[in-house]
Amino acid sequence: MSGRSTRDSRREERLQAESEGDREERRKRLLQIGSAAVFLAIVAVAVLIVVSQSQTSGGDTELEDTGLVSRQLNGIPQNGMVLGDPRAKVTLIEFGDLQCPVCKGFSEEIVPDVIDSKVRSGEAKIEFRNYTIISQESIPAGAAAIAAGEQGRGWSFVELFYRNQGPEASGYVTDAFLTEIARGAGVRDIARWNSDRKSDKVLQEVRDTTAEAQQLGLTGTPSFAVQGAGTSGLETLGTPGSAEALEEAIEGAG
């Protein structure tokens, strides 16, 4: 209260010292500057919002389940296309095609349980390898996932792609769609991601893992394999129908 009264008395003194005309002019000037401040503030916020929106919307569609995917993978390390503690003794490998609807079903119904029970605890890590069998569009899609993996967002990209998957070979895998998925997955350096996903190294990796899946005799996607101290190299599992089957395979490989 004493602070306020001191301020009031100062203001009174100042106001008394000023002539009536000066005060009126001063008030007008302050209102003008105040209006300018409000205008500038609104412009600043508008610019920030436009920049924020323009860098987030890669296309004209809205991504589904961005928050859900983020929550599902929250707190789990991602390195390249591997999800989970790099020191985990068992590796579960998913050979998948991002355009494959059965893979999408696995991603939504089965893999989350395995992530929660085995990957989050550090018992196993899970790796995504491209097995492109649907159409040519699966190749740039897989390369985009690997490029996201270069920035620690490989699994976020794969999961978000599955959640927003379109009909097989319908032409929806455009640059705009892939960019939107990358942004939604949290890929920060989009220019680097763009350059990586078109590089020979990344495209070759898509071809190599596809050839590997064929050599292993895998006939469809998703196909799983497991590797650990209890296996001799990569042990194929085919397409187990439940999370429990995958969990048992992980336990057997440890």
Partner 1 sequence: MIATFVATFGIGIATYIAIADSGGGSPVCLAGGSGCQTVANSSYSHLLGVDVAVFGIAGYVLLLAAALLRGDAARMAGFGLALAGFGFSVYLTYLELFKIEAICQWCVASAVLMTILFGVNAIRMVGYVGRPA
Give the count of alpha carbons within 13 A of 93, CB side only: 19
As a whole number of Å, the end-to-end CA separation of the chain is 72
- The CB-of-30 to partner 1 minimum distance in angstroms stands at 4
For the segment 140-159, give every residue that binds partner 1 (CB under 8 A): 156
- In degrees, to the nearest 5, what angle opens at C-alpha 227 toward C-alphas 219 and 211? 35
Q: 217: alpha, beta or left, given left = phi > 0 and alpha = psi -120 to 50? A: left
- Does 244 bind partner 1 (CB under 8 A)? Our answer is no
Cβ-based nearer residue to partner 1, 52 or 170: 52
Cβ-based nearer residue to partner 1, 68 or 216: 68
Give the count of alpha carbons within 13 A of 147, CB side only: 29
Non-local (6+) Cβ contacts of 174 within 8 A are 59
Cβ neighbours, 10 Å, residue 252 = 13
Query: Mask: binding to partner 1, 191-230, rule CB under 8 A, as x and -?
Result: ----------------------------------------
- Does 86 bind partner 1 (CB under 8 A)? Our answer is no
- The CB-of-40 to partner 1 minimum distance in angstroms stands at 6
Number of residues that bind partner 1 (CB under 8 A): 39
Q: 222 preceded by cis ω (within 30°)?
A: yes
- Does 3 bind partner 1 (CB under 8 A)? Our answer is yes
Q: Which of 6, 9, 27, 219 binds partner 1 (CB under 8 A)?
A: 27
Structure tokens at 4: 């306020």
For the segment 60-79, give every residue that binds partner 1 (CB under 8 A): 66-68, 70-71, 74-75
Give the closest residue to 93 by CA, choosing from 59, 68, 128. 128
Contact window for partner 1 (CB under 8 A) among 18-26, 85-93, 112-120, 122-130? 18-26
Query: Mask: binding to partner 1, 96-115, rule CB under 8 A, as x and -?
Result: --------------------
What strands lie across the sheet with 223-227, from one edge to the other? 78-79, 82-83, 124-130, 90-96, 223-227, 235-238
Would you say the C-alpha torsion 82, 182, 49, 51 has a positive or negative sign?
Answer: positive
Q: Which of 96, 140, 184, 228 binds partner 1 (CB under 8 A)?
A: 184
Q: Which of 6, 9, 24, 204 binds partner 1 (CB under 8 A)?
A: 24
Cβ-based nearer residue to partner 1, 58 or 222: 58
Alpha-carbon span 55 to 34, nearest angstrom: 32
Applying CB under 8 A, the residues found at the interface with partner 1 are 3, 11, 15, 20, 23-24, 27, 30-31, 33-34, 36-38, 40-42, 44-45, 48-49, 51-52, 55-56, 66-68, 70-71, 74-75, 156, 183-184, 186-189
